[in-house]
């Protein structure tokens, strides 16, 4: 089926000579998209914040009326909703896939699915109401908290890409936000990109450098870097300890290897045992590493609370 524009003009018709692209993306919450970027710019992005998709063409008169009204309303929402603009002349395949039969056509996406839309150039008041309803009245700190919660939920579910997208969205609105910086850095850590995790941590604004979430990720990064240096496999290290329980270096290496394999409880046990046997060994390396683990897990983590009690008992007995 041919796509039909205003006045019956086929969408595949060449645009008139000298036609200007009057509705290009303008503003921090607006971007142009193509078939190559549609999945990332719309489907993935809409899991963090609603995304409006405006299908238009340079020769379409009503598009030139609707486009500025949409952009104004989206910019006024200050990040509670995004606008993606798709030029039909350059992206006919998307139009066919979404069964766009006339322009302008507007779709709204949430969680990767279309949830609302309209055809034609609405009055500015109706456009504003459409955007405000989609945004759900969220913006500012409340919106940030909502997106942070969505990002944390995605990360916990193992969807690191969606979590990173959400944290990145917050950082576009609030550069240096400590929770978002920490969250994005943790995403890079999870994916094994230690360098990008370290670089991301440097984005935190100066007044929040000591934020608990940032310190926790810094500690996890230190642990991850230590894990890459851990020598020997678990069986070999345990064999060395069986042969000589006083081999503190072997026990320390075992602790690092256990943590690298996801056994943090086992790592805590071995480090505490070194402190119990020789708290001054290697300039208190075991105690210092315990402190890094506590920082990474956070002060309220049950493992931190338990290990701190055990450490205090050893140090002050």
Residue 244 has pLDDT above 60, yes or no: yes
Q: Of the CATH numbers 1.25.40.10, 2.60.120.200, 3.20.20.450, 3.20.20.60, which one belongs to the domain with range 230-315?
A: 1.25.40.10
Q: Give the DSSP H/E element, type plus range, for residue 30.
A: strand 30-32
Would the pLDDT of 264 be above 60? yes
pLDDT of residue 132: 85
pLDDT higher than threshold 60 for residue 49: yes
Please write the tens of the pLDDT for every residue from 62-81.
Answer: 999 999 999 999 988 888 89
| Token reading at 47 | 């899991």
Q: Are 147 and 169 in contact (CB under 8 A)?
A: yes
Q: How far apart are CA 116 and CA 121, in angstroms?
A: 15
List residues with catalytic annotation.
60, 63
Is the N-terminal amide bond of 307 cis, ω within 30° of 0? no
Whole-number pLDDT of residue 58:
93
Question: Distance between CA atoms of 213 and 180, rounded to whole angstroms?
Answer: 9
Q: Where does CATH 1.25.40.10 sit in the chain?
A: 140-212, 230-315
Q: What is the CA radius of gyration of the chain?
A: 27
Q: How many CA atoms lie within 13 A of 311 on its CB side?
A: 23
Within the chain, all domains assigned CATH 3.40.30.10 are found at 21-135
Q: Using alpha carbons only, give the angle 252, 258, 262 rounded to the nearest 5 degrees.
A: 145
Res. 25 pLDDT band, cuts 50 70 90: low
Percent of the chain with pLDDT over 70: 88
Q: Note the pLDDT of residue 2.
A: 37
Identify the CATH assignment for 21-135 out of 3.90.550.10, 3.90.1150.10, 3.40.50.1370, 3.40.30.10.
3.40.30.10
In tens, the pLDDT along 34-46 reads 999 999 999 988 8
What CA–CA distances, in Å, run from 109 to 14, 79, 134, 188, 201?
A: 29, 15, 9, 27, 31
Domain range 140-212, its CATH number among 3.90.1150.10, 3.30.70.3040, 1.25.40.10, 1.10.10.10:
1.25.40.10
Q: What is the pTM of this model?
A: 0.54
């Amino acid at each position: 089926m041919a796509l039909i524009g205003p006045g019956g003009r086929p969408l595949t018709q060449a645009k008139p000579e000298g036609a200007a692209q009057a509705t290009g993306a303008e503003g921090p919450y607006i971007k142009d998209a193509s078939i190559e970027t549609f999945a990332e710019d719309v489907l993935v992005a809409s899991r963090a914040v609603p995304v409006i998709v405006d299908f238009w063409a340079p020769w379409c008169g009503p598009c030139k009326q609707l486009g500025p009204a949409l952009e104004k309303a989206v910019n006024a929402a200050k990040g509670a909703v995004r606008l993606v603009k798709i030029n039909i002349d350059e992206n006919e395949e998307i139009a066919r896939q979404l069964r766009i039969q006339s322009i302008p056509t507007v779709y709204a996406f949430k969680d990767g699915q279309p949830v609302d839309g309209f055809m034609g150039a609405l009055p500015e008041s109706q456009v504003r109401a459409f955007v405000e309803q989609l945004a759900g009245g969220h913006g500012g700190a409340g919106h940030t908290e909502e997106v942070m919660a969505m990002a944390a939920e995605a990360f916990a579910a193992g969807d690191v890409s969606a979590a990173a997208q959400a944290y990145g969205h917050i950082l576009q609105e609030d550069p240096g936000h400590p929770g978002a910086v920490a969250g994005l850095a943790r995403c890079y850590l999870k994916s094994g990109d230690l360098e990008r995790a370290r670089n991301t941590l440097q984005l935190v604004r100066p007044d929040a450098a000591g934020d608990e979430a940032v310190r926790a990720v810094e500690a996890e990064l230190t642990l991850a870097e230590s894990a890459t240096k851990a020598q020997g496999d678990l069986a070999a290290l345990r064999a060395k300890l069986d042969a000589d329980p006083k081999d503190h270096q072997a026990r320390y290496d075992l602790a690092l290897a256990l943590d690298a394999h996801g056994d943090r409880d086992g790592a805590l046990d071995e480090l505490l045992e070194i402190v119990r046997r020789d708290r001054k060994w290697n300039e208190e390396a075991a105690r210092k590493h315990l402190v890094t683990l506590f920082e990474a897990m956070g002060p309220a983590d049950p493992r931190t609370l338990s290990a701190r009690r055990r450490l205090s008992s050893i140090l002050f007995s």
